[in-house]
Each structure stands twice: as structure tokens, then as C-alpha cells.
Structure 1
Amino acid sequence: MPLDVGVYESRADYKSQKQCQKTSFAFYQAVRDLLPVWLLEDMRTMEVFHWEDDGQACAFSPSEAFLYALVHDHQQYARYLLKCFSSRALDMPSRSFCCCQASSTPHLTLAVRYNRISILKMIMDTIKELPECERRSFLDRHGCVHTDGRKTALHLACDLLRPECLILLLAHGACPYATDLTGNTPLDCLLLQISQSDFDSRTKRICLGYLILFMPSLRFQMKGQLQEKRDVWRRMIGDQAFQWLSGASPPSLFVQAMQRLSQSIPTEQLDSLPDFLKPLDFRLQQA
């Protein structure tokens, strides 16, 4: 919900802002309670407002409403907003909602953070209609420096171990070589997660397998660490994954074939593959 800036020129301004806060919270509650789409749109377009930093009371934009739908997993409302407003529902919200206006992609990072797989699929279907350069720019933008450390959605999927989000982003063109403020690629983030503990090691290995499928070349910071501590990393990620990531040997023909296959068919068709070719099974074998 927009922040209270606490600056008023008159008692009327104070009352106006307090009223905006009430209606803003009412809209937040309505989305949280999964009220019908028609009612939410009536509220958004006619009844509820939020307070901007310049002292203006503004109606919620489709983009701002979509953020609320994401947070509360209101899939019907999210589908309606994307259908009626298309990519406009993914525009940057106002500064009251996100302070990093230049390059942030709050919808993608929120979808990953809250693990909203169904809504993330809707977003991917929507951006298919964008020109390729715009689609890639949207996928690879950095998140808010205050909440996401200026990481891309792909970095966040690795940090939070979201394999379903990871494969959706990769299959739709997110760059596996993008770097965050520290110069880490998504693979570096995932290797750091693997090195820190054995907790949820199966999910970590699945994520590693997904990244391998979409990385035809090796460009990441931790390659030197893998070479220095061979025995430790071989135990953590498995011999075959270690051999390739450390540069000791090229990926197997099977891995190369799976790389080509995964990049040439739609993500939703991966489940139709025979069991021995499914990416999940492959990742458990290789990691």
C-alpha cells in the first residue's frame, strides 16, 4: 500500500490523504479477500484512490492493481487485467509503489518471490506478443535495489530455489548470463546456495540442471573455486555436473541434445516427453 509521506499543506490535505489511505486499504482488502473481478474493477475505476508523493489523489492503474493480484494470488483478476490491458498491466507503477523507476520489473520479481506460478505463466503468455528486444529487456531488468538488491527475476529464482519459476523464465528468453550488482550470474547465486548447506539439496540440483540446459557456454565467477576445491564440489553437485562446470570436459552428448530440445519446444510441452527425457528426471540423474 502506498506510503504516508507525512507532509500536509492544510487540514483539508490531511483529511484527503487519510481518506485515500482508507479507500486504498479497502481495495487491498478486497483483492486479498478474492472478491469478484467486476466488483474490484468498479472499485478501482470509481471508488478507491491512493496518495501520490506530489500530493495528488490517484486512481489505481491496471499495473498497480496487478501487483495486488500477484501478492494475493487472485488469478481471475490477474487474468482479466492481462486480457483487457495486455502489456499495460505490466507497466511501471507509480513511485508510491516502486521507487526504482528506471529499470525495475516489480511484477516479475514479485511473481518469483511469492512463487505465483500460474500468474507467471500468464505474464509469459502476454509478453510473447512483444517485439523480441522489448521482451528480453523486460525479462532481464533488475529488481528494486531496496527489496531485491538489483537482481533479475532469474537471480531471485535461484536465490529462493524456485525451479518452476526458473524454467519458465529461461524457456521464454531470460538471459542466464546477466549479472547483479556484485557481478554474480544466476549460476553463481545457485552455487552459493548449494555451498551453504545440504538443506533442500534435491531442489538445488533440479535448479542447477535447468540452468545447465540453457547455458551453452560457461561464464560465471565461481569457476575458479570449483577448480580449487574439486573434491568438495564434486561431492556437492555430482561428478558429471562438476566435470562440465569446472571446464574439465564438455557436456555429454545427452546433455547437448537436451539443451537443443529444451530450447526448441514450448515449455508447456516438456511434460509430454517420455519419462526418461523429462527435464526433471534428467536433472536428478546428472546432478
Structure 2
Amino acid sequence: MPWSVRWVGGRGAQSQKQCKKSSFAFYQAVRDLLPAWLLEDMRTMEVFHWEDGGKVSAYSPSEALLYALVHDHQSYAQHLLTKFPQGALAVPSQSFSCCQSSAPHLAMAVRYNRVRILFRILKAIRDFPASDRAGHLDRQGCSRVEGGKTALHVACELVRPECLLLLLGHGASPCLHDSSGDTPLDTLLQQIAHTPAVNMRAKLLCLDCLFFFVPQDLQFPMKPQLLDNRQRWQDLLGENRFQCLVGLAPPSLFISAMRVLIRTISPEQFPEALDDLPLPHFLKPLDLKLES
């Protein structure tokens, strides 16, 4: 059984072999969705992993949360975020993340489409100091692995409407550029252009969500391309979206009103407060029965 693994002290090949066995046992236990209390017993008393340089380390709450994200272990993620809100979102060791500047949990939640765990992470971040909160929401991923993308860029790249709306509602900035100079809007437009026949409804839904949060005067690198290929982009986006996006027409009264209404919603009220807004059904992509 995985929880019977014990680490045997010492160094060298035997210690490294025992660490690998112990580490895999913990990974397997999270994958099998064992109870949170049992996983915590394993993490704090029984399992270790081997790091470069011969260092033997116990799993941190941050590293355990990464496993919970991969395997969608929602109860374990909730336990870690409740008991160790700062520690669970801290930078993991180099064995788990090549970039040591910030933690990858938000982007990983988006990449694996773990909407409920993402919501719990965002709830934990609400209570952080303002500077720490912004650092988590708007962190840029490793330039080598993630192309300097924020979690919001990843949500646009992978077309995750639920993740996108949660991030925007909790204060993620739609104006930041990745290492290529693209805003999240540029990333989404590239997805619309490359495979227009695939998942178009979800892509346009993401675009409509962005409309409510981006400033009207946002300058984005793809704007000249839209103007140079006007007919194509009008066909892809629809005339009203195109005209508004490139500044040839003001936003509709509906978009203007929604921008005002959404600014009145604090992160503490999001996303539950959306139920009280006059959103049409197609702009409510979330199953908002998310447990507090």
C-alpha cells in the first residue's frame, strides 16, 4: 500500500532509490484520491523526494497542491488552501518548477481546466496583501516553458471561458503583455484566426467576456492586422464586435452598462453576484454552484 512507505536515512544510491519509491507512492496516493487526512499524514511523516544536488526534502504544501491540481483532487486542494493559504501558493522547489520567481499554480489550474480548484485558489488569494495578490494574479510564467504568459493569457490560448471569467472577476489584468508583446486579447484573436471552424462559440464567448473588462482605449498589437484584413475579421467576429474592437464604433449600450455594473462587483462577491446581473444566458458560461 502506498502509505506504508518509509524513508530510510542515509545518502547515496540507496537513499535516492528509496526517495523515488516514496515519491511515487505519494503521487499515486493523490492520483487515487485518497482522503486528505491520509495524504497529509504521508506528506508530513512518510514521503520524501530527491532534489538535484543530493538534497532530500519532504513535500511542501505548494508541491502537494500541484499534485492535487494534476489529479483534480478537490478536497485535498481545499484542505491545503484552507490550512496553508500562503504556503500552498508559495514557490515550489526546483524539482517542480524551473522558474523560481513565482508560483505556477494559477496557470496550471487553467491549463488543466480545474475550474473548482481555481475558484478556491482565487478565494485564498483574496485575503493576501494587495501586492501579493497582484503578484499571484498577474505573474508571468517562465519564458522558456510558458512564453512569459500570465494565467489570463493561458485561458485565452486554451479557450477556457470559465477560467477566464473567474480570473477577470478577481482582478487579473487584461492589459499585460507576454514575452512576445501580446496581450490576452491578441492571444485570443490568434486562436480565432488559426482555427476558425473549431470551438468558435467558446472563442467568441471569451471575447465577449474580455469586452466587459478591457479598457476602451486598449492598444493591442493585432489591431493593424484587423484593419488590413477587414472583411475577413468581420466575417470571423461579426460586424458589431469588429467595429467596437478596432474603435470604428463605440461600444453598445449593453457593453457600456455591463462595464459599469461589473466594476461595482468586488472580488469577494465574484462570481456569485453575476446571478444578479442582467446577463443573457449565453454569457453565463460558469456553473456557478461553486461551494464556498
Same fold (TM over 0.5): yes
Counterpart selection for 2:150 from 152, 157, 160: 152
Question: Once superposed, what is the RMSD of the aligned Cα atoms?
Answer: 1.6
Pair 1:244 & 2:248 matched: no
Deviations 1:175-228 (A, max 9, x none): 101111110000000001001122110000000011111012322100101111
The Cα shift of 1:277 comes to 7.7
Q: Structure 2 matches for 1:99-118, cutoff 5 A? A: 99-102=98-101, 104-118=102-116
User: Does the Cα contact within 8 Å between 1:23 and 1:49 map onto a contact in 2?
Assistant: yes
The equivalent residue for 2:210 is 211
1:269 aligns with 2:273: yes
Report 1:248-263 matches (<5 A).
248-263=248-263
Contact 2:92 2:103 in 1 (8 A): no
CA change 1:278–1:202 in 2 (3 A) is closer
- The aligned residue for residue 279 of structure 1 is 283
TM-score (normalised: structure 2):
0.89
Q: Do 1:206 and 1:280's aligned partners in 2 also have CA atoms closer than 8 Å?
A: no
Structure 1 counterpart of 2:7: none
By how many angstroms is 1:229 displaced? 1.0
1:18-75 superposed Cα distances (whole Å, 9 cap, x missing partner): 1101000000000000001111011000100001213111100011001101110000
Query: What secondary structure does 1:215 align onto?
Result: coil
TM superposition shift of 1:278: 7.2
Superimposed CA distance per residue, residues 109-145 of structure 1 (whole angstroms, 9 cap, x where no aligned partner): 1100000000000011101001222211211111133
Tell me if structure 1 keeps the 8 A contact 2:243–2:249: yes
C-alpha separation in 1, matches of 2:51 and 2:128: 30
Q: Which residue identity is paired with 2:262?
A: S
User: 1:275 and 1:24 mapped to 2: Cα distance?
Assistant: 47
**CA, structure 1 residues 267+35, in 2 after alignment: closer, same or farther (shift >3 Å)?**
same
Structure 1 stretches of at least 4 aligned residues deviating more than 3 Å after TM superposition: 272-281
2:289 aligns with none
- Given that 1:106 and 1:144 are in contact with CA atoms closer than 8 Å, whether structure 2 keeps it comes out as no
Q: Identity of counterpart residues, as a percentage?
A: 56
- 2:47–2:58 CA contact under 8 A, matched in 1: yes
Amino acid at match of 1:256: S
In structure 2, the residue matched to 1:6 is none
The residue matched to 1:125 in structure 2 has which SS? helix
Q: What is the rounded CA distance, in whole Å, between the counterparts of 2:219 and 2:284 in structure 1?
A: 24
Match of 2:165 among 156, 159, 167: 167
Contact kept, 8 Å, 2:192 with 2:200, in 1: the verdict is yes
Cross-structure match for 2:186: 188
Stretch moving more, 269-278 or 44-53: 269-278
User: Partner residue of 1:81?
Assistant: 80
Paired residue for 2:220? Answer: 220
**Alpha-carbon displacement from aligned partner over 1:236-266 (angstroms, at most 9, x marks no partner):** 0111111111111221222111112123223
Q: Provide the residue aligned with 2:21 in structure 1.
A: 22
Residue type of the alignment partner of 2:224: G
Which one-letter code corresponds to 1:160 in the other structure? L
SS in structure 2 opposite 1:58? strand
Offset at 1:275? 5.5
> What's the CA shift for 1:171?
0.6
Instruction: Give, as a single letter, the amino acid of the residue that structure 1 aligns with 2:96.
Output: F
SS in structure 2 opposite 1:50? strand
Distance in structure 2 (CA, Å) of the matches to 1:243 and 1:105: 38
Q: Which moved more, 1:27-36 or 1:47-56?
A: 47-56
